[in-house]
Amino acid sequence: MFNKNMIQGSITVLVTGVGAIIGQGIIKSLRKSYHQVKVVGIDRSDKSLGPSLCDVFFKKPDCDEDHLDYLTFWRWMLKKEGIDLVLPGLEVDVTFFDKQREVFEQVGVVVALNHKEIIELSSDKWVMGEVLQRYGLPRIPSLIPMEWCEAVAELGPPPLLFKPKQGNGSRGIHYLNDEADFHYWRSKVNDNWMLQRIVGSDLDEYTVGVFGLGDGLALKPIVFRRRLSSAGNTLEAEVVEDSDIESSVMLLTKLFRPLGPTNYQFRKEGGVVYLLEINPRFSSSNSLRTAFGYNEAEMSIDYFLFGKVPADPKIKKGIAWRYSEDFVIHDSNFI
């Protein structure tokens, strides 16, 4: 799990997906850590804010991630920079590292990865719903109907949600108001879809950060009541205490035994807590958690590198908003 020969001091951490909000949030959290960290970043594109946040930046090679050249590049880069720890900032990178666990163990670098079982399970919302139902936990009413009349009979009147079984955030999610919508969106996809009843409201949505210890236990969670952006990321987050949400978190953590940074997303309706999805990795609100005292990047260094169980964080109360900001590089300074 951790590098027993590691000596606390300067640490070289590689963050993936630094061109996106998750990777950038991880870097911001590393900069606020008590550890002395050299940040190496990687992304498909060098045209973003991300490279400027890193001490060293690499652009991913232009080849398929299943190609041997891609693994060769990773071996070379990890050795060149003396990487101690890898923090994946994209779902696609989590999938890549999960498939190549043995390779990176042989290389001798530590990757902050959740358990294989929860990574695979959380990738399919339909299967996750079946597992929840099997264990007697609330499941959002869901269906894969052949006809619109079947959907309305089982799930109730529209609007209904059309969403991918595999996918995260708000990508591929559409509101269905009538039969025409149903047939239109079905014609646009293969069999990667399902319908759900809309539970709760936008005011009843929560995102929860948990640092799992892999045995059914976890550090104290941080609970945000949130409002989403059009891209499906957290736009507004308020730290709240909610016993119903925290009880659900404890049950799910005991059941799925997450390891490291894990994100649960919920909606409440009529006192019932429904799980929307599990992200078995850093989520887009990781920098907001850090701002309120829950630094998952710092915890990952302590746990994965030094084998230390982090102390329960002292969570501050408050509310946070996200906003757009300009970042300009003039031609003479462009990377």
Output the average pLDDT for the chain: 94
**Does residue 287 carry a pLDDT above 60?**
yes
Mean pLDDT of 239-247: 98
Is pLDDT at 146 greater than 90 in this prediction? yes
Task: Domains for the chain: give ranges and CATH numbers.
Answer: 10-114 (3.40.50.20), 141-197 (3.30.1490.20), 200-321 (3.30.470.20)
Q: How many residues are given for the chain?
A: 335
CA distance 225 to 208: 9
Task: Look at residue 7 and tell me whether its pLDDT is greater than 70.
Answer: no
Per DSSP, the three-state class of 207 is: strand
pLDDT for residue 2 is more than 50? no
Read off the pLDDT of each residue in 29-34 and give the average, rounded to a whole number: 98
The rounded distance, in Å, linking the Cα atoms of 267 and 245 is 9
Is the model's pLDDT at 138 over the cut of 50?
Answer: yes
3-class DSSP state for residue 264?
Answer: strand
Rounded Cα distance, 117 and 132, in Å: 15
pLDDT digits over 162-199, tens only? 999 998 777 889 999 999 999 999 999 999 999 999 99
pLDDT at residue 10 in the model? 86
For the stretch 40-51, pLDDT in tens is: 999 999 999 999
At 192-237, the pLDDT tens digits run 999 999 999 999 999 999 999 999 999 999 999 999 877 677 889 9
Does residue 159 have a cis peptide bond before it, meaning omega lies within 30 degrees of 0?
A: yes
Between 231 and 13, the higher pLDDT residue = 13
What is the rounded distance in angstroms from the CA atom of residue 132 to the CA atom of residue 252?
Answer: 9
Q: 55 pLDDT exceeds 70? A: yes
Rounded distance between C-alpha atoms, residue 32 and residue 291, angstroms: 9
For the record, the structure tokens of 175 come out as: 């509101």
Under 8 Å between Cβ of 292 and 316: yes
Could you tell me the sign of the dihedral formed by the alpha carbons of 139, 143, 148, 152, in that order?
Answer: negative
Q: In this structure, are residues 301 and 11 in contact, taking their beta carbons and an 8 Å threshold?
A: yes
Question: What's the confidence (pLDDT) of residue 167?
Answer: 80
| pLDDT over threshold 80, residue 1 | no
Q: What percent of the chain lies above the pLDDT cut of 70?
A: 96
What's the pLDDT band for 9 if we cut at 50, 70, 90?
Answer: low
pLDDT score at 8: 55
Q: What is the pLDDT of residues 67-115, one digit of tens each?
A: 899 999 999 999 999 999 999 999 999 999 999 999 999 999 999 999 9
Q: Is the pLDDT score of 335 beyond 70? A: no
Q: Which residues neighbour 46 within 8 Å (Cβ) at sequence distance 6 or greater?
A: 57, 59, 335
- Considering only CA atoms, which of 273, 164, 289 is closest in space to residue 234? 289
Residue 86 is encoded by which pair of tokens? 């890898």
Angle between helices 148-155 and 179-186 in degrees, nearest 10: 110
Evaluate if residue 329 carries a pLDDT over 90.
no
pLDDT at residue 142 above 60? yes
Q: Give the residue carrying structure tokens 């042989």.
A: 106
